Structure 1
Amino acid sequence: MKLRARRLSLPLVLSVSLLAACGGKSEEEMMASAKTALQQQDAKTATIELKNLLQKNPANPEGRFLLGKALLDSGEVVNAEIELRRALEYKYPQEQVVPLLVQVMLSQGQLKKALGDYGSTKLADKAAQASLDAQLSAAALGTGDRDRARQLAEAAVAGDPGSEQAVLAQARILSSQQSFTEAVQRLDELLKTHPKSASALLFKAQLQLRALNEPDAAITTFKQLLAVKPDQFDAHDALLGQALARNDIDAARQQLAAMKKAGVPGGRTALLEAKVEMAAGNYSRAKELVQALRRAAPEHLGLLSLAAMAEARLGNYSEAEALAAKAVQLAPQSAQLRYQHAQALIKLRQPAKALAALKPLLESGSKDSEALALAGQAAMLQGEQKQAEEYFKRAASLRPDDQRYRAALAIGQLSSGGSDAAVAELNTIAAKDKGTGVDLALISALAGRRDYAAALKAIDSLERKQPDSIDVPLLRGRVQLVQGNLVEARKSFEAVLKKDPKLLLALGGLVTIDVNEKKPDQGRARLEAYIKDNPKNSQALRALAELDAQLGKPHEQVLKSLNEAVRVDPNDALARQMQLDVLLAGRDVKLTLSTAQAAVAAIPNNIELMERLARAQMLAGENGQALSTFGKITSLAPESGVGQLGTAGVQILNKDFTAAQRELKKVLDVRPDDLQARAMAIQVELQLKRPKEALALAKDLQSRHPKAAAGYLAEGIVQQELGETDPALASMRKALTLENPGESPLRLHALLRKVRRTAEADAFADSWLKSHPDDITFGLYLADLALATNDLPSAEKLYRGLLAKRQDLVGALNNLSWLLTTQKKPGAVELAQKALALAPEQPAVMDTYAGALAAEGQPAKALEVQRKVVQMAPDVPAYRLALARFLLTAGDKAAARQELQQLTKLGKGFAQQGEVEKLLAEANR
């Protein structure tokens, strides 16, 4: 009986299934049910109904569109994009799909793609076009193109004045202009007519929280948003974040439970759960949660940031640095990500990299106290005491409510002359402070005012707080080094290396001591041994390259270390920057350009590398490409001014001074105190024959930077253009007394000579050199001037004096070699060889070398070198004339005649045509 019953059950089940299928919902019923669910903001039910519908009819365009909308409401943006694109494929009206699709793209950070794909799309329906314009306005704002964002917002308002999207676009523009109160007022007006606008409520709450610093008001608005849309992730995230900011872990867990109850997708819930576990100190659990999430979204910024934080808390700083670096690469404008990256680098004792990571946040007018404080720590580790003090002072002045405020005041007293009371005050604060921030500021301030004994005492106090910290002996060694106590500094650095033999900062201290003790080879050997044991340490390879450059080693040797640093760590941006700086100083245009292109491809969106790429493009004569690269820099970092200044520089080269003037105005509107921008603006005004405007800019520069020489030097140049000699000289003399006089001594001396006040010029030159013996630039100027005026004895004396101070001055080596050759003195070949080692493949240096070889009895080698010179620079007549001379000396009259005949074609355009005719007559004999 059981067997029979079992057999009978199969057809019974089949018949029930068939009956269910026959009696199921039709497509129309499922569509109607889905639309009702969407109206009731029940995205889950709508999704189920629409998926069932599409199983029956996969090509239903409206079903695809509504499913995309439901998935977007559920926070499943990736799948939403897929469905919306299918809706377009199945010819669902663009007017409905495109605005929503762009919204989805924006939610995934696809700002440039949205602008590229739909920036020129025109929709027939005005309301739809207005919605699209509003979304594109947000995209343009996100990429830094404020003008386009404003134009699109205005178009949205014109197309559909009272619509939700148009008003939101207006509010975004107001927010970008720092008009936060007006933006909130505009949103409140919208909420009167659209009280359930989740977008308006979210934007309002975010402005209250982040821009207006009204956390209580923001919490109220976030709660209103959750009443409208209980599963709104950003609201839950913000409320949970506020609980964590109060260190109220219980409240955070309650918010997390409410989020789960509301049905927020599991992945997002897990993200916030990881944040809670981090705050609760459960770092391993947080790491576990984040790792699971990252398997599905490896480049999610929030997950990368949280993963880096978890690794740092667990002491895995190398992993933390790698994760933070990747996050910064994906979002270079994020200050928070740069903080994380810098913190990890500081923990890894890589201060130079930390400062490079923070550089976009450290402009002259920066109000980022966190970045400044981190930069202070990095500068301290690097031994730059004065710079560290400046960073700490600026950071503290921006946060008067911080517990370190008293410390900032005391530091200010120290920097302005100081007093024992200020030191005592800082010591008191540092003793009470459980952290180390005040200790570091105190050490920095004391070292900055050269009170090394007190700085060492402060380090002793820090040691009592952190007896096992490796930073303590490292700081002690740094202070002893600048103190000049090399014996004790050596002991300190050696003590560090006993604890951590691989700590390169300590090894670098020993190398510095070796160089100071005139034992550079010993220092170099230390680095080479370290690299042998740590062949993949790019930082050590960079240090070796820096040492070689300092010692005047050949160009190829410096570049070899940097090439290896890039090979072992392609993501070492500093190594790539140094590599490009060496190449840019040379003349191998193709190699420089290809290397810069490779650097930007390896590390996209790195402003420093992109700026060097643009310079390489300019060197190659590709000014159009350089403009494009500077434009990309502007879109990535519009506030930095780097892109706009570079663009203006290219336009000045192109003699498009009006365009350069417009670009510089953009910079000065955002960064009115930018010295470089104002100096360039003055130059442009002079080129446009507007000296009065240039003079006004110079005066404004003086008022903004009264201690800087730039404004007074600029005024002197303008007055000189106007023919006002005495006012020009007075301004230049004033510039000499201020910070960074720059070209002021050169300009003053040149002007005195121009107006035939030669005795006064000579007296000034003697006086300036006596008081500024290390001013290499002025020394080179005087030497070159002596050479140009055929005062060969003075030129020789000046060049020799310069080379006694610096052996890596290629120009001085080259010109002194030429002088010795001309005067038939020995030593020219050796000097030319040194110049070539520093600047290989430079035609001018090779030409000098060939002349020296010929003068010292090596005609065959001279001829060989000069042939290469002419091959490298065939359009320089002087090089071809020298080659003809050497050919005649070698007895090859036919070849000499061929070279000379080419020169005769230049006619009077070549000043040495008389010598050409004389040599040609000799070749024809």
Structure 2
Amino acid sequence: MTTKKLTITLVAAAIISLTGCGQKSAEQYLESAQQFQQQGDFKSAIIELKNAISANPSNSEMRLKLGQIYLEQSNFTAADKELNKALDLNATADDVLPFLVKTQYYLADYERAVSLAQSIQLSDEQAQSRVSFYSYISNLRSPLPSTDYSFPQDLIGDDQILGKIYQALTNNELESAEQLSHSLEENNYELAQKNYVKGLIASQQQKFSEASQYYQKALKIYPSWHQVSFQLADAQIRDKDYNAASSVIDRLLTLNKENPYANLLKARIYFEQQDYAKALPHAEKAVQNGLNSKMAQLIAGSSALKEKKLELAYKYLTQAAQGMSKDNLVYRLLAQTQLLLGYTEEAQNTLSQLEGLSKIDADLFSSTGIKLALKGDVDEAKTFFEKANQADSSNAANLLKEGMLKLATDDASAITTVEKAIQQDDELKQAWMVLARAYLKQGKNAEAFKVANDWQQKSPADGLTLKGVIYQELNQPQKAAEAFKQALEIEPTHVGAYFLLLRAYQQLNELDRAIEVGRDIITISPDEMRAYVLLLQLFEQSHKLKEIKPILEQKITEEPDLLSPKVALALYYRSSSKPQEAISILEPITELNSLGLIILGDSNLQAKDLVKASAAYNRLRDKFPNDSRGWLRGIGVLELQGNTQQALELTEKALKKFPNSQSLKLLQINYQTQTGQLEKANHSLTLLKNTQNAENDTLLKYEGELALANKNFKQAQNLLEKFYERYPSFISAVPLARAMQSNNQFEKASKLLEDEYAKLDDPNKHNHTMAEFFSFNGAYEKAALYYQNALKLNPQDIAAINNLAIVEISRGNSLKGLELAKQAYSLSPSIPQIEDTLGFAYLRNEQLEQANTHLTNATKLLPNDNDAKLHYAELLILTDKHSQARKLLENLTSESAKIISRKEELLNKLQ
């Protein structure tokens, strides 16, 4: 035991001895640090200085030295910390301030740099010069520079020259700045600043490659001078050196991926490379993170426009346009976006503000004119066509559009305008056609044929085709066909003549010859979608639809990359009630045309897959937003899914796109009525009636349903009877029967519904409608009959079981009602309405404990359901909880006469 203690003591003594021998003094550490610094081993120098400070924490010289090395190593934060400590430890200001003010400049802490420099006057001339220089350029950089800060008079040597260069650059005196730069000493004194100002000068001289080289030299000295990294990337972008710029920006983004300016620079690279999909998220991030830059907004808006994200483009371009001069490109892009979104009035307003019209504006004005014409604002449309032609008087296409509008509005100058278009461009085919039709419209047939003959001299096949069109307009299909055949002899690939010949054979009812022409078209133009659709129609009209299938399959085999034959085959399958086959063709294709997406959606609808149908229509709206079919079909699916509020929202969104669509306006009234927005529905109806015939058939239906919702039962019955008389059916009879029952005409309503029900090909679809009608009117035996019919078709029809349970209870068959309620609950225990029915059934069978369990839970889950409240109130009365029952009933409000009657009945029991 004694030996062990002795060994430990000896080891401890050895360790203490070794430690004592290796210990350095603070001065030795400082000397070692200086040696490492001279060797360029700054990492070791820093370690030695930290050891020196540990040995002597109050030594200001060591803090100063460590701060200087940190500054040299571009670790500005650490340098600031150590230099401040040196100053706190009473290091002389002459020694510390030149480095500390400089450090604060590189930290972009400009206000502190200026404040510190102005607080102390140094005795050393060179030290004061450096402090004043960094104070001066810090004030120039400050977000809130002092206006009374004059050029310092105590600058000497290169500090003075650098200061004057900054002054010249601030005053846009580029030539003076360049001359001064040649006076800088060729030494290492403030070498980073010397390279930096030379980079600034080169940038302003548009010498971006040279500027990049100077910025890189400055960054080699101070790699953490991030401001210069941004300027380097900017210069490289302007020099089209995108790879180099991208590397610099990626380094900046690793420091802060949210940095708005770094994201803007990245967006600029992608934008200039026309990679708009990648430019957009970076530009958005720049804007979202607070960079209120017109460039960021313009790149975001333009990229979104290119990517067809129109609402996003509209948002950013609207921001970018604010405060910009009215001749700026952003206004033209904004107008283009507004037109694509269907915001015609806004586009009209934007274009009206444009200054300095140029040729590029002609198409914008022309497109707006077309939109205004389609909206019915003809006079304003003509004004915009005139502006289009002022912007580019040589644009024959715009002259033609103006002429077409004049022709449509019976303007006598239409012919003159179209003739001008032909004079500008006699190869504008449509102009010849429009001119001939203009003469035909005026009854000048000879003049129309003269136009065709004149065109035939310039373009024989086209002239003959026009001659055929004139014969068609004059209802002479045989002569038209001969003209088209002559045109095809001259130009066998004239697709327009082929289509017109096909139409002529249809007029002559020569369907086999029309089919032959259709097959010729898909031979010379195998991706011509219109030809396939016409062929399908012709084969169906000829009662031999099945014969087109092998033709389409062969075409797909011959041309596997073409889309149109595949879409046509899918259309064949859908028309043949084989939706799954159509889906299997179209579903794998990522880039479908509009017809393909419609067929895909319709086929899924036919297959009763509403989710996939909705997805197809969503794709159609996203890719072809101006195709109203995608909107209307999408609205229809939402209605089928029972999402009436969403259907209304999509309808109102569609109305922004198609503001003159009567169908959409009627749907809006319908959904506003169904969702209880009666004031809005009344307003929409008034607006529609002001622009439409009040006796419009469809309008009668929706006006009647709105009157029914407003409880104007006599008006509702009057309107709905008119609609039913014009369109007698079970569907039109239902709202009429509801109006009749509210006018105390139950027998008449009952007969109406039963008569229409009997006429239905598949009446079982409407068992629930019939049952609900009779149940509401207290005709429980008939209601039970229709629910039983529904259960024969589907024994697990939960709604039918639950509702039949209520009917049986109402008929006095409480035990049967309980049996059915239990069955419904076992099938779907999570539906609170079903639990309420079960509780009510227990209540009527005087099983109060079970009733309490289910009715208490149902009332919690259905806080706004008056039926559930009445059932629970009845339970409370039977269990002598009168005060709770009274409170519940007094708070119950309803517009239903049946609910109010039952409420009064229960309140009377509490008397």
Bigger radius of gyration among the two: 2
Q: Sort the TM-score into its range (normalised by shorter chain).
A: 0.3 to 0.5
State the structure with bigger RCO (CA 8 A, min sep 6), 1 or 2: 1
TM-score by length of 2: 0.46
